[in-house]
């Protein structure tokens, strides 16, 4: 081991994965270090992470927090040593937090997750996978689709889609909306087109896939450009965060 590193109870063994713990709270670092050592990793605290990443071979994993300074350091590591696995412990384990960290690391996990969950996330990252909470994954997927080709829909248009999904007839929808049946067909045709569909069935299938038919939690519609998700209450159109 070189002078810039410190191992927790075990010598550096090249064929075992090496994990660098960087800028972690001392108590947290000791607990995670002990868990990693018990799991078979060689745990280190390099004074120069970039140099550590480029020194030698074998599997190397850098674990740090989601501060901007830490993420900037990971950018340098990835630039100099792309094969090094990087895992971020998220203080902000929200959609915005994952969206901010994941483009700059291999994997992310909440800072206050159980030790076993942190170890699972590190193992997954070492194997080329990123673990994300189901709710966050759905929001990320929905944001990708909505950002690509789905316009912002009004509460009225959402109401039409949900009514059609509940088997309300176009005639009844027209009457309740104050349009003639012919005008209603024209408006719905334009709505289907905006959803990338040509038929009622196609439009409803796409709307369902995007979560637009779930009036209680249509979070996909309300993710702003900063990655903040909010929910509409459905019947009155109010939002809560």
Q: Check which CATH number belongs to the domain holding 82 and give it.
A: 3.40.50.2300
109 with 145, same domain: the answer is: no
Domain ends where: 132, 151, 180?
132
Residue 2 included in any domain: no
pLDDT at 17: 93
114 with 157, same domain: the answer is: no
Question: Digits of tens for pLDDT over the chain (241 positions)?
Answer: 444 444 444 444 557 899 999 999 999 999 999 999 999 999 999 999 999 999 877 899 999 999 999 999 999 998 899 999 999 999 988 888 898 999 999 999 999 999 999 999 999 999 999 999 887 887 777 666 555 455 567 889 989 999 999 999 999 999 999 999 999 999 999 998 888 888 888 888 888 877 778 653 333 222 233 333 333 333 333 333 3
89 with 141, same domain: the answer is: no
pLDDT at 151: 54
Scanning 44-114, the segments in alpha helix (DSSP H) are 49-54, 68-80, 95-101
pLDDT at 13: 53
91 with 193, same domain: the answer is: no
DSSP-derived letter for residue 66 is S
Of the candidates 21, 19, 110, 23, the one whose C-alpha atom is nearest the C-alpha of residue 67 is 23
Residue 148 included in any domain: yes
pLDDT at 73: 94
Residue 31 included in any domain: yes
Neighbours of 42 (CB within 10 A): 25
What's the rounded Cα separation, in Å, for the pair 71 and 66?
6
Residue 6 included in any domain: no
What's the rounded Cα separation, in Å, for the pair 169 and 160?
10
Residue 13 included in any domain: no
pLDDT at 15: 76
Residue 29 included in any domain: yes
The structure's pTM equals 0.57
pLDDT at 236: 38
Residue 9 included in any domain: no
Q: Which domain holds residue 225?
A: 137-240
Residues found in the chain = 241
Tokens found for residue 74: 């990971």
Question: b or e along 48-68 (b: 16 or more beta carbons within 10 Å of the residue's beta carbon)?
Answer: ebbebbeeeeebbbbbbbbee
CA atoms 50, 93, 35, 107: torsion sign: negative
Residue 5 included in any domain: no
Domain ends where: 88, 104, 132?
132
Number of domains in the chain: 2
Neighbouring-strand partners of residue 147:
none
Phi/psi zone of residue 81: left (φ > 0), alpha (ψ -120 to 50 degrees), beta? beta
143 with 128, same domain: the answer is: no
93 with 158, same domain: the answer is: no
Q: Hey, is 57 helix, strand or coil?
A: coil
What's the rounded Cα separation, in Å, for the pair 136 and 11?
39
Of the candidates 125, 124, 134, 119, the one whose C-alpha atom is nearest the C-alpha of residue 105 is 125
225 phi, psi to nearest 5 deg: -65, -20
Question: Taking the mean position of all CA atoms in its chain, how far away is CA 75?
Answer: 19
pLDDT at 41: 95
């Amino acid at each position: 081991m070189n002078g810039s590193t410190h191992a927790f109870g075990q010598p550096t063994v090249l064929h075992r994965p090496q994990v660098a713990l960087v800028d972690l709270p001392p108590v947290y670092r000791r607990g995670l270090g002990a868990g990693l050592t018990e799991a078979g990793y060689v745990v280190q605290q390099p004074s120069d992470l970039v140099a550590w990443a480029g020194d030698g071979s074998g599997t190397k994993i850098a674990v740090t927090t989601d501060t901007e300074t830490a993420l900037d350091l990971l950018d340098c590591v990835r630039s100099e040593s792309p094969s090094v696995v990087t895992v971020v412990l998220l203080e902000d384990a929200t959609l915005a937090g994952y969206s901010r960290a994941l483009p700059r690391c291999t994997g992310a996990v909440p800072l206050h997750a159980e030790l076993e969950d942190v170890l699972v996330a590190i193992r997954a990252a070492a194997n080329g996978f990123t673990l994300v909470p189901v709710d966050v994954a759905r929001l990320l997927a929905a944001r990708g689709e909505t950002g690509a080709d789905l316009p912002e829909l009004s509460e009225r248009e959402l109401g039409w889609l949900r009514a059609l999904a509940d088997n309300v007839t176009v005639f009844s929808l027209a009457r309740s909306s104050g349009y003639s049946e012919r005008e209603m067909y024209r408006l719905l045709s334009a709505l289907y087109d905006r959803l990338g569909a040509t038929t009622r069935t196609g439009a409803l299938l796409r709307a369902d896939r995007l979560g637009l038919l779930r009036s209680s939690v249509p979070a996909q519609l309300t993710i702003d450009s900063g990655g903040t998700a909010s929910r509409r209450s459905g019947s009155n159109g109010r939002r809560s965060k």
